[in-house]
Structure 1
Amino acid sequence: MIRAALFSVMTLFCLAPVAQAQNGTAAVLARTAVEQFSQAIEGMKAADGSQDRVRALTETITAYENGLEAMREGLREASLRETAIAMAFNSESARVSELLAVLMNLPSGSPLSLLHPSGPVGTARAGMLVSEVTPAFQAQAEALRETLEEVQMLRSLQQDAARQLAEGLRVAQDARTELSQAISDRTDLPQRFAADGARVQRLISNAETLKGFAEGLTDIDEAEGVAPMAALSDQIGSLPLPVHGTLLRAYNEADAAGIRRPGWLVATRPLSLVTTPWPATIRYFGPFLDYGNVMILEPGNDILMVLAGMEDVYGEIGSVIPAGTPIGVMGGAALDPEAFLVAATLGTGDERTQTLYIEIRQGGDPVDPATWFAARGEETQ
């Protein structure tokens, strides 16, 4: 009977999977988020004494946005992992109950009751089985301890996220407020040409399409003798996206109304910062037709980059701005921390409620942005 019971115990250990801690993806992402939020906080402190205040504030906002992405992924990973642990525990509960029943059926009483009926050889074999079961018990206990520690870490991650998010959000809001003024105060950017405001306004009034407006800017160049820019051919295909976002519609892809536009539509979070992906001349910024606020950049000779849909736009027409310079902010309401945490944990909803339109024109004709940017945007969450 002892041998049969011990054999049953060993069978359970052989069949039952041991819960092991995963590769710690959630913890890594959580640490990344904390580091990036910390960078945002330190960047905000440094911005006060920075000679290049615009750059310092831009880095602050960028660090916050990167931290937001890492936190969202970390919370989702933590939720998935905790669910997997709970499912594994529930699936093993029946095996644990069976194991306890086997142990309860082991004979008890005097030492003689542990003797095998077949004699010394059987007793020795039973002892060997017991010695083999003991390490399995220890391994199972260790696995359970590691799993409980992981659950504790995951819950701690979720509890700390609210505090980290609130602090990062406060810093980002302050940085956005100060950024607009810092850009207005900037006087160190070179001017490629002096804008003829009246001429641009006439062009806007007469242009019926974005293409016509872009062609009109080229005509102004020729009339005013604006010097051409350097070629950009060696950078094609490696430019970063100007905003954190997800590709919503590709080049010439029809929308719900069947309308096709020769550019990308990128979904972004509210108040996301938009930056120039390459040094460029600001050719125009302001409202145009139904595009909302439009920023037209000239990153290279005979190349125009059109960015449309921002709530606010920054800069001065004719100035040459370096890569990474903020040129606008998306619209929408400020992040709701509680809603963000719930959606991130459950993996439901999508905070990307704003859209940025990106169009590239070369020689006056639109080209697919896919040939220009290094990435097609983040994966849909």
Structure 2
Amino acid sequence: MRAPILNLLLIASCAGASLFAEESLFAEESLAQAQTAAPAPQTAAISPDAIKQREQELEAARASKKSAEEAQAKLKAEITSLGQDRTQLNQQLIDTAANVRTVETKIDEAEARLKTLNGREQQARTSLDSRRADIVEVLAALQRAGRRTPPALLVRPEDALQSLRTAMLLGAVVPELRGRAEKIAGELGELVTLRKSIASERDQLASDRDRIRSDQTRLAALVDERQRQQSSREKDLDAENSRAITLSKQVGDLQGLIAKMEQDLQSAAKAAEKAAEAAKQAEAKEAANAAANAKPGPAAFKDRSRTSPAILFASAKGLLPLPVNGNKIRDFGGSDGLGGLQKGISLATKPGSQVTTPCDGWVVYAGPFRSYGQLLILNAGGGYHVLIAGMERISVNIGQFVLTGEPVATMGSTSQVASILATNASQPVLYVEFRKDGTPIDPGPWWAANEGEKVRG
């Protein structure tokens, strides 16, 4: 009966010893690092092993640099092959932006799982630390029992009595020791399982981070190419942007800014004119579809070559994706934190998150504006405007037509919107507002049905 318990406790003691050994090893490593940090005599020579290790590190760095250069050259060749094909470029932009947002979500989920696993590991460690005395006591009791040999039964009657008493004592003690040993071994087994899960999650997280860096590099190159093509079509682009910033300083509210842009700025005025024409054409098309009982759906956005909204903005209810991955912290009509009511929604995001357009539309303003930080305004046609604020960098220009899901901006590391800065200064927040004929409206009905508090993109 003792053998299974001894085996069980042996496993437990080995696992426990490994835990305690880690702490000792950490202390030894810290001491070694401290000794290494101390000034070494100038006469000390570098060991051959150290030289070999440095050569290997240098070779690995060279290989990594070469791989990065080859990837960059391949990406450049791919983008060059796109040429002036706007449809293919749009497809690449939207697909890559979608990949980035998908990996952003996976990283968020992995970090949440790791946080939970680390918490459980800490609890297991704390439990085992509190039971060290119990572990020592059980191991010592079994060791003593193992060393005490039972007396021979056929020597003297007193020996038989002593043997019987020993058997009775073991019969009472062994079940308790078994229970305690099994509990300890169970906790150690759970800790080992947790460690394996944590290692697996960390490997997956590292892989996802490598992937998102690659996708972000590709996306940045595609955005640069899109803007290069846009700049070649708009020769006076820089002058227009400078004039837009000047005009923005002459108005005090958003409605005034929209009106000023679409009235005084050439590219914004053209965008507004195109939006109005597109709305009329879309109305006629939708009237024909209504006669045929055809309702617009997600398939309407598949055409990447379109140069006007796929459907009327009013008909896009339940179809639009949220523009960034994050958590909704303020909803339309709620408190804005300054004694007023929220005219849009606020989404708390991760630093550096990719921002995409929630709808088709023309850019009528892109730049800083008062307390909104970097502000992007889209004319979606039919009297609708979409305002997006709080980004660190905008990558589109005034007058440009953008498609649903197209990358247009990047979040910074802190909040840029003044009304949110006071309560959420530690993380970036994106503000989104819909307007109809100048009046803020609830954007809730427009978001896709699968978009919840946790933005999936």
Give the structure-1-normalised TM-score. Answer: 0.61
Identify if the C-alpha distance between structure 1 residues 96 and 205 changes in structure 2 by more than 3 Å, giving closer, same or farther: closer
Deviation per residue, 1:159-209 (Å, 9 max, x gap): 75895477356435533542431222457xxxxxxxxx69x9597466431
Query: 1:322 — aligned with what?
Result: 403
For 1:358, the equivalent position in structure 2 comes to 432
Distance 1:233 1:143, change over 3 A: farther
Whether the aligned pair in 2 keeps the contact of 1:293 and 1:313 (CA below 8 Å) is: yes
Cα separation, 1, equivalents of 2:194 and 2:389: 45
Residue of structure 1 in register with 2:190 after alignment:
147
CA distance in 2, matches of 1:243, 1:283: 21
Q: Distance in 1 between matches of 2:201 and 2:276?
A: 59
Deviations 1:237-262 (A, max 9, x none): 55332112333444355556546551
Matched, 1:367 2:441: yes
1:174 aligns with 2:217: yes
Quote the offset at 1:215 in angstroms. Answer: 5.4
2:105 is the alignment partner of 1:66: yes
Whether the 8 Å contact between 1:291 and 1:309 is mirrored in structure 2 is yes
* CA offset digits 1:16-63 (Å, max 9, x no partner): xxxxxxxxxxxxxxxxxxxxxxxxx9x999865374342354245334
Aligned to 2:453: 376
Q: Compared with structure 1, are the counterparts of its residues 166 and 123 closer, same or farther at alpha carbon in structure 2 (3 Å cutoff)?
A: closer
Q: Provide structure 1 residue ranges, at least 5 long, that are not aligned to the other structure.
A: 10-40, 188-196, 334-349
The equivalent position to 1:296 in structure 2, one of 374, 377, 386, is: 377
Match of 2:125 in 1: 86
Tell me if structure 1 keeps the 8 A contact 2:107–2:205. no
User: Aligned pair count?
Assistant: 315
Check 1:351–1:106 CA distance in 2 against 1; reply closer, same or farther (3 A cut): farther
Equivalent residues of 2:110, 2:201 under 8 A apart: no
Q: Structure 1 CA distance, aligned partners of 2:278 and 2:216?
A: 39
Q: Could you say if the C-alpha distance between residues 360 and 66 of structure 1 is closer, same or farther in structure 2, counting changes exceeding 3 Å? A: same
Q: Is the 8 A contact 1:313 1:328 kept in 2?
A: yes
- Name the SS of the counterpart of 2:372 in structure 1: coil
Does structure 2 retain, via aligned residues, the 8 Å contact 1:245–1:378? yes
Write the distance in 2 (CA, Å) between the matches of 1:224 and 1:234: 15
The whole-number CA distance in structure 2 between the counterparts of 1:233 and 1:223 is 17
Which entry has the higher C-alpha Rg, 1 or 2? 2
Q: In structure 2, what is the Cα distance between the partners aligned to 1:300 and 1:116?
A: 102
Contact 1:284 1:295 in 2 (8 A): yes
Contact map agreement 2:388 2:431 (CA 8 A) in 1: yes
Greater share of residues in helix: 2
**Contact preservation (8 Å) 2:276, 2:382:** no
1:296 to partner: Cα distance: 1.7
Residues 251 and 261 in structure 1, CA contact (< 8 A), matched pair in contact too:
yes
Partner of 1:227: helix, strand, or coil?
helix
Q: What amino acid sits opposite 1:243 in the alignment?
A: V
Q: How large is the Cα RMSD of the aligned pairs?
A: 5.0
Asked whether 1:109 is paired with 2:167, we answer no
Q: Secondary structure at the match of 2:199?
A: helix
Q: 1:205 to 1:127 in 2, by over 3 A?
A: closer
- Measured in 2, the distance between the counterparts of 1:222 and 1:168 equals 41
**AA partner of residue 305 (structure 1):** V
2:276–2:381 Cα contact (<8 Å) kept: no
CA gap 1:57/1:291 in 2 versus in 1, 3 angstroms: same
Amino acid in the other structure paired with 1:367:
I
Q: 1:159 to 1:284 in 2, by over 3 A?
A: closer
CA 1:316–1:142: 2 relative to 1, 3 Å = same
Aligned to 2:8: none
Q: Are positions 1:156 and 2:233 aligned together?
A: no
In structure 2, C-alpha distance between the alignment counterparts of 1:276 and 1:165, rounded to whole Å? 24
